[in-house]
Amino acid sequence: MIRFFEKDPYSPIQYVYDVEKILYKGKSPFQEIVVIENPFFGRMLILDGVVQLTERDEFFYHEMLVHVVMHAHPEPKRVVVIGGGDGGAVREVLRHETVEKAFFVEIDEEVINVSKKYFPTVSCELENSRVEIKCMDGSEFIKSRKGDIDIVIVDSTDIIGFAKSLFTVEFFKSVKESLSDNGMLVTLSESLHFHRDMVLGVQETMRLVFPVVDLYTAPIATYAGNWWTFSAASKSLSLREMRRPGISGLRYYSDEIHRQAFLPPKMYERLLKKSLNW
């Protein structure tokens, strides 16, 4: 059996996966795309040598990326998902009946096409009539919206290359201008184990723009550092409070997980004061 050695530019360790089968290998104008079959994780989507999702555990990431802010908002109707070409975040967004429109903005159309073919349970809602797909730069799309979006979800690759534009002051300002009065934003922000300073950097940049900023985490076995963080921001409301009943049918996220996912206040303060000693 051959093996795949992950090439994560930010990880001090290297994950290795057995490969039963290479299902797809190609290159888009933006990145290399590979789909493999692993005996434990099932099908795996790999972009530029870094694992993006596996069939076995993708729900941990997608549920936590989406449902924390979706439940913190009193009535999310118009949602933007930037990145996440596999469609998993869109699938979770559409579980909420309040949603009237989901703008799915993915710069790499080939990732969408590959995901539709090889990950049908993840991309299953991309043909939903509430979804509008835009194959373009998310930072450019968000500039076109002014005060009519309730939630922006950033599901990008790691904070390198073309994804860097989604973590700047300019981008966060554009997001804030696009949001309605109770609008919220969430983005991945790497691992608190391996990337503490990157996590802090995203938090500090958000705090230059938004009055309410917070941090929550989830265990993701196939992401470097495993203790994955999500940086969230709001124009007015606390992100720690659930304002609507939890939806059914989820595998990990719940009201209990929502309450416990955020960093304890004293630990969060230590992060911001740069006194976490690791």
- Give domain limits for the chain: 2-54, 58-272
Taking alpha carbons only, the member of 165, 176, 164, 274 closest to residue 234 is 176
The chain-wide mean pLDDT, for the chain, equals 95
Has residue 98 got a pLDDT over 60? yes
Higher-scoring residue by pLDDT: 277, 48: 48
Phi, psi angles (nearest 5°) of residue 209: -115, -45
Name the pLDDT band for 10 (thresholds 50, 70, 90).
Answer: confident
The model's pTM = 0.96
Taking alpha carbons only, the member of 66, 35, 221, 32 closest to residue 150 is 66
Q: Which pLDDT does position 158 carry in this prediction?
A: 65
Name the pLDDT band for 157 (thresholds 50, 70, 90).
Answer: confident
Count of CB atoms situated within 10 Å of the CB of 179: 27
Using alpha carbons only, give the angle 90, 84, 123 rounded to the nearest 5 degrees. 50
Q: Which pLDDT does position 230 carry in this prediction?
A: 97
- C-alpha to C-alpha distance for 33 and 55, rounded to whole angstroms: 16
Please write the tens of the pLDDT for every residue from 137-156.
999 999 999 999 999 999 98
Has residue 162 got a pLDDT over 60? no
Same fold yes or no, 2-54 and 58-272: no
Has residue 15 got a pLDDT over 80? yes
CATH class of 58-272: alpha beta
Please write the tens of the pLDDT for every residue from 118-141.
999 999 999 999 999 999 999 999
- C-alpha to C-alpha distance for 204 and 215, rounded to whole angstroms: 11
CATH class of 2-54: mainly beta
Q: Which pLDDT does position 163 carry in this prediction?
A: 60
Share of the chain above pLDDT 90, in %: 93
Among all residues, which ones are annotated catalytic? 155
Has residue 224 got a pLDDT over 60? yes
Q: Which pLDDT does position 159 carry in this prediction?
A: 64
Has residue 78 got a pLDDT over 90? yes
Taking alpha carbons only, the member of 235, 237, 232 closest to residue 263 is 232
